[in-house]
Chains A and B, each alone.
Chain A
């Protein structure tokens, strides 16, 4: 009897059975995405350490996955959207089941996601990436806020320069701390390949933007010293905001807040004094904008000559600057213009018109500047004023079309469409706040969604005919892929999305995918 009673504590202790649950299931999980690629949509899962791709190239979506490191914190696609770059925070093994893993930059080939992603040990948990337009170089850096509170010291001026054409290894990436005058990087822009006359071939340059300071770094020779350019004049801090490049002349144009002018930075050959010195130096020039530019745009005319458009509200002008000669022409304008859009957009098309808007001033006026022959001082400038009923809060170019969407309120409930050819506007009214929108790749449709309404709205931009598509669940984000399929994410952590094959598709042609972020998660060993 006593022996039997001894069994009772065992029964009670059974309730406290500890089979030491794997820590992976108790980790914080953040899903980054959806991230639009060419024909794929990517989701980066920080809990399962993987990227899930939904390929919408065919009628039936294909799901693939790529393994990455622990604790993804930032992801961005390459400029051509064929690669996905992910920064993982890594992990420190403190508890059973955790591993020691350093911060990594992962380069995932979205065309072959089953291939092992290249992992570059970047040394610090950077939370921003800049990628060169030709996908050859990436620079990881800290945002002003930094990723998290982990760690002991953090060097905000540290960079990791990654040569994406070479495998990870010694010397790739290169860790570098740039010279600082008390400020930290607020952004990095990588140039397209530029040939500095007298040097050996095309190179990529990193332009590090920080308060009162611009740093230029030869990203192909990161071991060489960087070049710092002080921007401040002793008054208000000068904050560089925008860099546009003229690769044919190895120059860059920098627009800064509180700056007196647009800064042209021309890279010229300079004989190195010692091995390892730079073989170039910047040659600076203030272009003749004057008055503190609020926006700039660069274009090449049909002869290939490069021009810079700058808006200078302080002087009430738009300035057209010949980038090669610095000759300029000023066009008076009454509104404080702070947004310049060129039409037609993209590709190799030569712009013929510029749309000028005053977003900060909430002006009701738009202006269209004819760019043809504008550099000829004997030609009269053609500036058309368009006065709308309501203030303009934003203007967005429609891809591949001479159209601009005009947003009239913060909630994006009242929209307009400006035809740059006829310079006429048409109002569009939504049923609610336009929380997410996109344009079809050929610019044929505006696609919009609001999270309170289980519908996707379409506007045919040829005739402004509105249609809508009833969804089964409220949308969170709407995207259009390169093959014109519409992807609607519903914001479910298990993965829930509606795929609409085209703007005129019916409901039975659409497809809802559910649970794709947790596919077979129970079958994998932690």
Chain B
């Protein structure tokens, strides 16, 4: 972080369009005890972001503020007690803001904060093939730092590599797995909650971004 600040002080301003899209792969570590129960792995998936530069005068020369919206997915599998297969997936939509600053030639540093929601889906399959599944929507907040390395950085077009590191805080998703059922009339059912699945954790994204 200190290095990024030093680099920021050395930067100069340049613009390559007011729109930006980025597409990449994201991986999120799941250090919470509840996620630990489900899977030992990190969650991986695609990430897509659209951003629009805001025409604001900021106190630091070369600093630009962008509004962002992103869509991100992730999934992980695991095994509980060596017998029960677990599949967890999440789809996240967030909106927020990004500060972007040119550090050196073709290299930009970004700081980003966003808020949104995440749909968490958990599926459990026992050795007999019985499957139970549930999903839950929770609020999320994320903050990150990014580095853009531009391969092309023209006034109206730019393309480059983006690397992001951040932390995502998610609410615990209360889950009550439901068995897969056919359409026959059923006996009244009481289903027990398996608890709250917390998918908070540090994450990294690497991808391609373009400004136009």
A residues apposed to B, CB below 8 Å: 1, 3-5, 7-8, 10-11, 14-15, 17, 19, 21-22, 25-29, 47, 61, 63, 471-473, 491-496, 498, 507-508, 510-516, 518-526
Contacts and interface: CB of A to CB of B under 8 A. Distances in A.
Contact of A522 (B27, B127, B165, B175): B175
B38 A472 contact: no
A523 B42 CA distance: 19
Nearest to B195: A522
Nearest to B132: A494
B12 interface: no
A15 B205 CA distance: 11
A47 B81 contact: yes
20 contacts: A11-B206, A14-B42, A14-B202, A19-B29, A22-B37, A25-B37, A25-B40, A28-B82, A61-B190, A491-B128, A493-B128, A494-B84, A507-B185, A507-B187, A513-B190, A513-B191, A514-B179, A515-B177, A519-B194, A523-B195
Nearest to B206: A11
B204 interface: yes
A451 to B, nearest CB: 11
Contacts of A519: 192-195
A498 B179 CA distance: 14
B38 A493 contact: no
Given A494-B126, A494-B177, A524-B195, A511 B190 contact: yes
B195 A521 contact: yes
A521 B106 CA distance: 50
A520 B175 CA distance: 9
User: Most chain-A Cβ atoms within 10 A of its Cβ — which of B7, B194, B197?
Assistant: B194
A19 B128 contact: no
A493 B127 contact: yes
A521 B124 CA distance: 13
Contact of B204 (A5, A14, A26, A507): A14
A1 B29 contact: no
Contacts of B187: 471-472, 498, 507-508, 510-512
Given A11-B163, A14-B204, A515-B194, A493 B126 contact: yes
Contacts of A47: 81
Contact of B80 (A4, A17, A25, A514): A25
B184 A472 contact: yes
A524 B172 CA distance: 13
Contacts of B36: 19, 21-22, 25, 526
Contact of A514 (B31, B127, B192): B192
B82 A29 contact: yes
A22 B163 contact: no
Given A4-B149, A28-B81, A511-B188, A522 B104 contact: no
Given A4-B107, A19-B31, A519-B193, A27 B81 contact: yes
Interface string B105-131: 011000000000000000010111010
Q: How large is the interface on B (under 10, 10 to 19, 20 to 34, 35 or more residues)?
A: 35 or more
A22 B82 CA distance: 13
A61 B132 CA distance: 21
B163 A493 contact: no
A63 B107 CA distance: 60
B168 interface: no
B13 interface: no
A452 B26 CA distance: 46
Interface in B172-212: 175-179, 181, 184-197, 202-204, 206
A406 B30 CA distance: 58
B47 interface: no
Task: Identify the 7 closest CB pairs spanning chains A and B, nearest first.
Answer: A522-B195, A29-B81, A523-B195, A515-B192, A522-B34, A17-B29, A21-B40
A29 B83 contact: yes
B82 A26 contact: yes
A514 B27 contact: no
A518 B194 contact: yes
B126 A3 contact: no
Contacts of A525: 33
A4 B194 contact: no
A496 B179 contact: yes
Contact of A492 (B128, B163, B195, B197): B128
Contacts of A17: 27, 29, 42, 202
B148 to A, nearest CB: 9
A509 B139 CA distance: 39
B44 interface: yes
A28 B38 CA distance: 15
Interface in B131-163: 132, 147, 149, 163
B147 A493 contact: no
B3 interface: yes
